[in-house]
Amino acid sequence: SASPQTTDQMMSIRDSPLKERKDLYLQRRICDQRKWYEKKARSNKRSAKVWMGLGIFAYALGFSFIVVRIADPAMPGWPTEPLIVIAASLIGWTQIKKFNELASAYTLTAHEIGLTADLITDANSDEAFSAAVNEAELAFSREHTQWVARQNN
């Protein structure tokens, strides 16, 4: 972009006292990101349970249809084969979406962000604050890099 990369508000924040910068960064970046990652971890964990549960239910229902057909071959046929295909599709969907993998990755990132919050809180100098911010941004960057890699698989 041809426009300046640092805004007047950014320059104003840079000129503010260390405590204000730390509080602002903790509130608007660290807490916000940690909440987002925790929410995404819970959402993916819940999705994994729901989709896997539906798949298992469909398999169990299909299996029970097979058992009933074996026990009473004269009984009219139930849609066992389509049900098994649906069950396999549900399990496959769970694997394709990688809900469990995403939940683990987001949980780990939320944990790392929590650790960097302590570094920022404990920073007593501009240099220590800068190092803590770099550490926090590296945690975000690692997760983003992993996310891009997962999208390309």
Q: What's the mean pLDDT when you consider all of the chain?
A: 89
Q: Residue 71 pLDDT more than 90?
A: no
pTM of the model: 0.77
**pLDDT the model gives residue 69:** 84
**pLDDT the model gives residue 117:** 92
Long-range contacts of 55-60 (CB under 8 A, 24+ apart): 55/87, 55/88, 55/90, 55/91, 55/94, 56/87, 58/83, 58/84, 58/86, 58/87, 58/90, 59/84, 59/87, 59/91
Amino acid identity of residue 111, one-letter, is H
List the domain boundaries for the chain: 38-151
Alpha-carbon distance of 130 to 55, in angstroms, equals 48
Q: Of 81 and 50, which is predicted with more confidence?
A: 50
Q: Residue 1 pLDDT more than 80?
A: no
Alpha helices by DSSP H, listed for the chain, are 8-15, 18-25, 32-71, 80-97, 99-122, 126-151
Q: Residue 13 pLDDT more than 70?
A: yes
**pLDDT the model gives residue 25:** 94
> For 107-152, how does the pLDDT look when each residue is reduced to its tens digit (9 = 90+)?
999 998 999 999 999 999 999 999 999 989 988 888 878 777 777 7
Within 10 A of 6 (CB to CB), how many other CB atoms are there? Answer: 9
Collect all residues with Cβ–Cβ distance below 8 Å to 8 and sequence separation of at least 6. none
**Gap between the terminal Cα atoms of the chain:** 32
53, 92 contact by CB (below 8 A): no
Average pLDDT over residues 77-85: 84
Q: Which of 52-56, 69-73, 81-85 has the highest mean pLDDT?
A: 52-56
